[in-house]
């Protein structure tokens, strides 16, 4: 009796996780016992949180479905141009909002996402297990450059950031999660990510440098950490960074 095998093919940007010889084709998968689909996918190097749709012999299934001899498995990333909610089986609880938790190495990306007005916390110095627990508890999407972190079983939503350039990383995240319409620049604290709200000048006058108070009347304060903001000489530079990030970000990539 010959070896039992299934065939696995991944689509779109999920091919980034595969060696070149496995990309864009169905690849035999030797079966040892009765593996579940999640384990089979991750054994190929694809984190389960990057997967949006799995078709087993043409039928949508969840990650716990067993993989058998002769099965054909098609693994898809998020679709940007198709609504496949009626097909989805891999996630029973979609996120109610888009909010991110970034690992220790993505501090600059966290700052850029906050600059865009997106909800982004930075888990600086946080252990992986604590980061995952926080993401699940708060319903946040983990952003990381660590593929192994995304394979942790408790994690439900995550994304492996491909680029190493912070501006391109921010553009990548906006494009991947279709966030261009949700961008609200200068509405979050760059230090902690808290929401900014207008504050009367007289309430914070003692915190304003005299040279600023002489010509600036509008201020905003972080509701979380209390940091004070106003449009200073650095504002044009930050505005230019926003424009660089959004340049081309609304263009859909392959779905």
Choose the final residue of a domain: 61, 76, 91. 76
Q: Does some domain include residue 113?
A: yes
Pick from 60, 61, 45, 59: nearest CA to 10: 45
Please report the pLDDT score of residue 65 as a whole number.
93
* Residue 122 and residue 65 share a domain: no
Of 44, 76, 108, the residue that ends a domain is 76
Give the separation between CA 24 and CA 102, rounded to whole angstroms.
30
Last residue in a domain, options 14, 42, 76: 76
Q: Can you give the CATH number for the domain in which 30 is found?
A: 3.10.20.30
CATH of the domain at 159: 3.40.50
State how far the Cα of 169 lies from the Cα of 190, in Å rounded to an integer. 17
107 and 168 together in one domain: yes
Alpha-carbon span 97 to 120, nearest angstrom: 12
Domain-located, residue 129? yes
Strand (E) positions, the chain?
5-10, 27-30, 53-56, 59-60, 72-76, 99-102, 119-122, 141-144, 158-160, 196-199, 219-222, 228-229
**107 and 169 fall within a common domain:** yes
Residue 51: inside a domain: yes
Co-location of 63 and 133 in the same domain: no
**Domain extent at residue 135:** 99-186+241-246
Does 203 reside within a domain? Answer: no
Q: Are residues 10 and 59 in the same domain?
A: yes
Q: Say if residue 109 is in the same domain as residue 181.
A: yes
User: Residue 134 to residues 31, 42, 143, 154, 223: CA-CA distances in angstroms?
Assistant: 35, 22, 13, 11, 21
Same domain, 106 and 30: no
Q: What is the pLDDT of residue 119?
A: 97
Asked whether residue 225 is domain-assigned, the answer is no
Q: Are 115 and 242 in contact (CB under 8 A)?
A: yes
Give domain status of residue 204, yes or no. Answer: no
Instruction: Provide the residue-wise pLDDT of the chain in tens; the chain has 255 residues.
Output: 568 999 999 999 999 999 999 999 999 999 988 899 999 999 999 999 999 889 999 999 999 999 999 999 999 987 654 454 555 556 555 566 789 999 999 999 999 999 999 999 999 888 999 999 999 999 999 999 999 999 998 998 999 999 999 999 999 999 988 899 899 999 999 999 999 999 999 999 999 999 999 989 999 999 999 999 999 999 999 999 999 999 877 654 433
Q: Which of 81, 108, 85, 90 lies closest to 47, judged by CA?
A: 90
Same domain, 107 and 140: yes
Which pLDDT score, from 0 to 100, does residue 34 have?
87
Helix %, strand %, coil % for the chain, to 5? 30, 20, 50
The answer to whether residues 228 and 219 touch, using CB atoms and an 8 Å cutoff, is yes
Is 105 in the same domain as 63?
no
115 and 173 together in one domain? yes
Q: Identify whether 178 is part of a domain.
A: yes
For residue 157, being part of any structural domain is answered with yes
Bridge partners (DSSP) of residue 8 are 27, 73
The domain tally of the chain equals 2
pLDDT given at position 255: 34
Q: Tokens 């065939």 label which residue?
A: 7
């Amino acid at each position: 009796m010959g070896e039992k095998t299934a065939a696995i093919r991944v689509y779109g940007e999920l091919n980034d996780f595969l060696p070149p010889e496995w990309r864009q084709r169905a690849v035999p998968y030797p079966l040892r016992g009765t593996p579940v689909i999640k384990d089979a996918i991750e054994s190929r190097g694809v984190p389960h949180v990057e997967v949006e749709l799995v078709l087993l012999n043409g039928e949508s299934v969840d990650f716990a479905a067993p993989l058998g001899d002769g099965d054909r498995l098609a693994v898809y990333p998020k679709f940007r141009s198709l609504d496949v909610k009626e097909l989805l089986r891999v996630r029973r609880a979609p996120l109610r909002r888009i909010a991110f938790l970034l690992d220790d190495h993505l501090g600059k990306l966290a700052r850029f996402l906050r600059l865009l007005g997106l909800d982004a916390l930075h888990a600086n110095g946080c252990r992986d297990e604590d980061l995952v627990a926080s993401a699940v508890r708060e319903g946040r999407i983990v952003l990381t450059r660590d593929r192994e972190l995304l394979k942790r079983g408790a994690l439900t939503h995550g994304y492996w950031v491909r680029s190493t350039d912070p501006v391109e990383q921010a553009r990548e995240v906006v494009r991947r999660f279709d966030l261009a319409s949700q961008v609200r620049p200068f509405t979050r604290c760059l230090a902690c990510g808290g929401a900014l709200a207008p504050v009367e000048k007289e309430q914070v006058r003692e915190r304003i440098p005299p040279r600023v108070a002489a010509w600036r009347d509008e201020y905003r304060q972080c509701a979380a950490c209390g940091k004070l903001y106003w449009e200073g000489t650095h504002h044009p530079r930050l505005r230019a960074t926003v424009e660089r990030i959004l340049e081309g970000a609304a263009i859909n990539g392959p779905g």
